[in-house]
Amino acid sequence: MNDRACDACVARSWLVARLAGHLEKARSRIDQVLALGVEDLIVAVGGRETARLRAEFETLDPDGLRSRSGTAGLETICVCDPAYPAGLRALAAPPAVLHVAGGAVDLLGGESVAIVGSRRASPYGLDVARSLGRGLAISGITVVSGMALGIDSAAHAGALEAGGPTVAVLPGSADQPYPPGKRALYRRIATSGAVVSELGPGADVWRWMFPARNRIIAALAALTVVVEASERSGALVTARLARGIGRPVGAVPGRVTTPQATGPNCLLAGGACVVRGPQDILDHLFGVGERTVRASRRQPPSELQPLLTAIAEGYETAAALARAGFEPENGLAALAALELDGFVRRGTGGRYRVAP
């Protein structure tokens, strides 16, 4: 277990966690508050507990805190360490200490792309996020997200399917999954990648921790991609934070009639780069054609390609079969073959759609 956090940074990290409830009232300006020095932070949010907090801080045992992190299975690295992720130094208030589950601390300094979006994602959005995560992982790019329901989890799952690296940044402690229902995904990420938090073990989750977490996602990534997001989505906060530190933002176009498309389409209107697939991301980061995405799956049998094309063009199932020249009895077997091989997925009403 590596422990690369100095006493001062460990103490600062403890203070942020200790002030968690007090920081809730400063949620709308959490970036500025977290940038305050120790004494100013205690005075700014300590209220009637200011004297007690000051006394606790002055008698703190950093060795005990480090031991507690180690017991929870977390590695620590602080902002004073040369190996601290360089991208986080662009923040006005970089985390004093990163607590990492999974042991892949080195992943945090590599080539990374953030994929974020709505918790209430559409089937289309989930497919796209999974496809982006898979394609980037195959290309050796670390996928960063927040392990939230919807787009975030789909992006992590896509990277894991490809056997590639992925990093989850949690609002609460890195020793426990959040949301709790994502325990299986948490274990898979911790096994092959890294789970990160600026808070030590046992920290409760407060609302201010979500925008605070989003700044870490934005700063760890060379590019932030929003797949789906309503106009009040936290994914747009991540995009705004990324732009604030000079990082590019990409967005996946969506139907103008769906609320999940509001955020990405607004970002595109404001100059975000268009993301139609992982190749667009690689082209934006490294130059057109400099790096290409390797094919992640085989092509369908040639006799099924016309049916796949008809489905991709939006034809209903019966019309797609007719357009591809399949009789109903043979067509059902063809659809089943495409579905089993992962080329199409069956949606509501029995309608098929092409899987990205």
Class of domain 302-354: mainly alpha
DSSP for 222-262, written as a single string = SEEEE-S--TT-HHHHHHHHHHHTT--EEE----TTSGGGH
Strand partners, 113: 143, 223
| Residue carrying the six token digits 């200790």 | 18
The CA distance from 22 to 253, in Å, is: 39
Bond preceding residue 179 cis, omega within 30 of 0: yes
Question: Which residue type does 267 have?
Answer: L
Q: What is the pLDDT of residues 7-43, one digit of tens each?
A: 999 999 999 999 999 999 999 999 999 999 999 999 9
Residues 6+ apart with CB under 8 A from 187: 177
CB proximity list for 156: less than 8 A, separation 6 or greater? 133, 143, 145, 147, 166, 168, 185, 189
Residue 267 has pLDDT above 90, yes or no: yes
Q: Is residue 231 within 8 Å of residue 262, measured between CB atoms?
A: yes
At residue 3, what is the residue type? D
**For residues 226 and 236, is the Cβ–Cβ distance under 8 A?**
yes
Q: Do residues 120 and 229 touch, judged by C-beta distance below 8 A?
A: no
Q: Using a pLDDT cut of 90, give the percent of the chain over it.
A: 72
> What is the domain partition of the chain in residue ranges?
302-354
Longest CA pairwise span in the chain (Å): 80
Looking at per-residue pLDDT, the higher value among 313 and 114 belongs to 114
Over residues 176-231, the pLDDT tens digits come to: 999 999 999 999 999 999 999 999 999 999 999 999 999 999 999 999 999 999 98
Distance, CA of 17 to CA of 51 (rounded, Å): 17
Phi and psi at residue 179, to the nearest 5°? -70, 155
Per residue in 125-180, pLDDT (tens digit) is 998 999 999 999 999 999 999 999 999 999 999 999 899 889 999 999 999 999 99
Going by pLDDT thresholds of 50, 70 and 90, the confidence category of residue 296 is low
pTM summary value:
0.86
